[in-house]
Amino acid sequence: MMNLTLAIPSLNRPSERPVPFDTPGLNALLRFGHFTSLPAETSVFYARHLWRGRPEISILAELGLSADTPALLAAPVCQQMGMNQAYLASGRTLSVTAQEAAQWCAGLNDFFCEDGWQFYPFKPDLWLLTLPKQPDWQVPSVLDMLGQVDGMERMERYAEPDWLSKQTEIQMWLHAHPLNAARTMPVNGVWLWPGHSDGQAEAGFTATDSSWLLRPDLPHDAAPYDWAAFEAMLEECSQQVSDGLIFLDDLTVSVAADDEESYRQLLADWDVRFFTPIRLALQKGRLKNLTLTTDGEHGGVLNIRTKAERAFWKRKKIFTGSLR
């Protein structure tokens, strides 16, 4: 039997007016598990599941560059300004294409050629910046800044002056960029930061569409459509898998867009495609253990053993998570 980890960022978002979701399969899983809280940082959550060691080192290796090369992580972002607050969006929310990423990186390389900066479009929404010297920038990961109400305000108070200066230069360069003319959500910034969280990913097989999968040496595939598709992936795997991981980060797009209806519909859909059949696999003993985990202030790990018959997790008997 296999141990399965089902990792879902943004799964449990408390609401002032919680409304039960149409997720009977998920609700049943929540009644038969033991819950443990974990650090709230989203970057730590991704590091725990999707990469091993420092992410810059993994990307440098995949690009064929020396591990000693000074490098920073970079992500195209959209900063949306309100009257009293600002939100930061990145990742799949922006739907950046590979062609757009290549064109932006080439333009930035020309713009910063005198500084010796070189941008690499490693993935459409995750880039690498190499530079002559490693800067001493204590900047949080973009994963921990997404959706922050006062994120940029805090950075303007505490970030190093040269980081703020470069951010301003990039924003000015992107402001009138022709690629943004046809975009619903413009790319008006690039978040630069040094990797902080060393990855501890251990799953023998990982299925995800996330750009943050940085373990090319181990078996992996795209996120499956449903539980049956994941079981088919395992059957095709060249080696027996004792620990599998499904990492689904589609909910983060709904959260970033503040689209509660999309959030609710996706959870209901996943209940049919994942939660209910996984529950049946546990009931029939086809799974040894399920680890259901999410990030954020109310995140943590819910462990459910095969053929569980009594509820250990009293914190929530029904899932009432919502958007912020």
Give 304-324 pLDDT, tens digit per residue: 988 764 444 444 444 455 444
Mean pLDDT of the chain: 85
CA distances from 259 to 93, 253, 263 (A): 12, 9, 6
b or e along 37-74 (b: 16 or more beta carbons within 10 Å of the residue's beta carbon)? eeeebbbbbbbbbbbbbbbbbbbbeeeebeeeeebbbb
**131-160 confidence digits (pLDDT tens):** 999 999 989 899 988 766 555 666 666 678
pLDDT for res 239? 76
d(C-alpha 218, C-alpha 239), whole Å: 11
pLDDT at residue 170, rounded to an integer:
96
* Tens-place pLDDT, residues 253-304: 777 767 788 888 999 999 999 999 999 999 888 899 999 999 987 788 999 9
φ and ψ at residue 206, rounded to 5 degrees: -120, 135
Instruction: Report how far residue 321's alpha carbon sits from residue 324's, in angstroms, rounded to the nearest whole number.
Output: 9
Tell me, what's the pLDDT at 317?
Answer: 44
pTM above 0.95, yes or no: no
Nearest CA to 164 among 138, 144, 145, 182? 138
